[in-house]
Amino acid sequence: MCHYTAAQTLPLAAESSEKFFKAFFLDIGLAQRILNFKQQEWMLEGIKAGHLGGLAEQFVAQELIAYQNQLTKNDLFYWQRDAKNSHAEIDFLIGMNGIIIPIEVKSGKAGHLKSLQYYLNTHKNAQYGGVKISECGWAWNDRIRQVPFYGIDNWLDWLKHQEIRYY
């Protein structure tokens, strides 16, 4: 379960809600099987664009859970703003080294980051900036760090052992 949080302070669970959540499956391979993805088809024809976003989020959720301390309760959090004619959602939020880091997941290399920009502009606690996880390589643009799918664990490990650079 990935629970909604207002994301104003740590711990993220302090401002979370049990009413609002996104559900992720135990394993991306099992999720693909339940969704009836046939390996032969998607290896030859590719996965349809409409399914890529969900699979990318599933993969990142699995990586974030795998990185957490296995001796404690593991939590995933997301943030969203629902206002008339204006919706914004941050796929994941993590609390590390005393700060909140918003994470956006994009299935391809391209993708707008309007929600991430909105979050960074409206949350004073986002001094580290945000993270975009996608097929892109490693990069640092303005206040957004780009992390490739294959580098999630390396980035989290690096982050855990660094003093955070604030912007």
Is the confidence at residue 43, as pLDDT, over 80? Answer: no
Nearest residue to 142 (alpha-carbon basis) of 133, 131, 156, 150: 131
34, part of any domain = yes
- Report d(CA 125, CA 29) in Å as an integer: 35
| Number of compact structural domains in the chain | 1
Residue-level pLDDT at 70: 73
Residue-level pLDDT at 85: 76
For position 127, which CATH number holds? 3.40.1350
Q: What is the SS3 assignment for 8?
A: coil
167, part of any domain = no
28, part of any domain = yes
8, part of any domain = yes
Q: Are 159 and 96 contacting, i.e. CB atoms less than 8 angstroms apart?
A: yes
Domain that holds residue 122: 2-160
More confident residue, 17 or 54: 17
- Report d(CA 22, CA 78) in Å as an integer: 8
166, part of any domain = no
Tell me the pLDDT tens digit for each residue of 106-130. Answer: 987 777 889 999 999 888 777 788 9
- Report d(CA 52, CA 143) in Å as an integer: 26
145, part of any domain = yes
Residue-level pLDDT at 79: 94
Tell me the pLDDT tens digit for each residue of 137-149. Answer: 899 887 899 999 9
Count other C-beta atoms under 10 Å from residue 125's C-beta. 15
Mean pLDDT in residue range 50-71: 80
165, part of any domain = no
